[in-house]
Amino acid sequence: MKRRTLPVAAALAATAALLLTACGGGDDSSKDNDKIAGAGTGGSASPSPSASATADKNAPSFAFPSDIKVTVERESTGDGTKDAVLRDVAYAAQARVEAFGKGDGQTANVNRYFAANARIYWVNRVTEFKKEGLTLTGRYRYYGFKVTDTSNGKAAARYCEDQSKAYNKVIKTGKAQLTQPSDKDFVLYTVQAQRDSAGDWQVTQQNWKKGDAECVQGQ
């Protein structure tokens, strides 16, 4: 198969797609050139919100590097609570990409949409990634959002991530680390979230699986 080529200005470094444990930790498989979740070619500094997000007066502002683009494909469920959960889970995915792109694991958006073990994990991972001399470039696409449970101010949800046009980028040279397309470019995330005192749903635990049949699409 042909290796994908992207102009340096359009490359994407994705956070290593690691399978986290139920407590929010995970094994770092970045040495295998796994890609991080969430960016896209030729993106602007502003996020690509879901259709309903534009009506949210409290929506966060994201500052992605110019070579990262995030696309969110999320439809209304018709249930106010479920829609709020999926909205904030999508914001959390974008916050993660923004953090890796900026090399800062403690951005306002990470602190807003992550909590507990999930936040600790991503803060540490962003720091490690930057120390490895890497950042992100390319395009991340999120789709297939579903809420699987809501009760007592807590929720469980799942969604897919398309990393097929997402790459790690070497900070020093500005060059993308290109990879061969494969089913592992598609990642299924399962998350647990809890509503905080401000009314935001924060991701507290997160697991993911690369190449899950639920998310794989044609190359």
pLDDT in tens, 3-55: 333 332 333 333 333 333 223 333 333 333 455 543 332 333 333 343 334 45
Identify which has the larger pLDDT, 53 or 211.
211
> For residue 87, is pLDDT > 90?
yes
pLDDT at 165: 96
C-alpha closest to that of 44 among 92, 79, 10, 86: 10
pLDDT at 34: 52
Residues 169-179 pLDDT 10s:
999 999 999 99
Cut 0.85: pTM above it: no
Averaged pLDDT for residues 183-203: 97
Question: CA–CA distance from 188 to each of 37, 86, 148 (Å)?
Answer: 10, 15, 14
